[in-house]
Structure 1
Amino acid sequence: MALNKKTGAFTGMFVLFLSLSLIAGCGGFSKGKDTPPTSAAFAATGTEGIVMTFTPEQPPVKSYTQAPLNFMVEVRNKGTTTVPSAMFYLSGFDATLIPVTPNPIPLPQPLEGKTQFNPDGGYTLIQMGAQNINLPNEMPNYKPNFLLTACYPYKTFATPMVCVDPNPTDTVSDKACQVQKVIGTGSQGAPVAVESIETQATPRGMFFRIHIANVGSGTSGSGLAFDQMALGACPGALTYNDLNKIKYMVTLGSNEPVACQPINNEVRLVNNKATIFCQSPKSIQPLAYQTPLKVELIYGYKNSVAKMVEVENLNFGRI
Structure 2
Amino acid sequence: MAGKGSAAEEIEVDGVAVRLTSPDKVYFPKLGKDGTKRKLVDYYLAVADPMVAVLRDRPVHLQRFPDGIDGEEIYQKRVPQKHPDYLQTCQVTFPSGRTADALKVTHPSAIAWAAQMGTITLHPWQVRCPDVEHPDELRIDLDPQPGTGFREARTIAVEVLKPLLDELGMVGYPKTSGGRGVHIFLRIATDWDFIAVRRAGIALAREVERRAPDAVTTSWWKEERGTRLFIDYNQNARDRTFASAYSVRKTEIATVSTPLTWKELADADPDDYTINSVPGFVAGRPDPWADIDAKAQSLQVLLDMVEVDEKERGLGDLPYPPSYPKMPGEPPRVQPSKKVAEHWDEDGNRKN
TM-score range (shorter-chain normalised) is under 0.3
TM-score with structure 2 setting the length: 0.24
Of Structure 1 and Structure 2, which has the larger fraction of its residues in strand?
A: 1
Of Structure 1 and Structure 2, which has the larger fraction of its residues in helix?
A: 2
Higher relative contact order (CA 8 A, sep 6+): 1
TM-score with structure 1 setting the length: 0.26
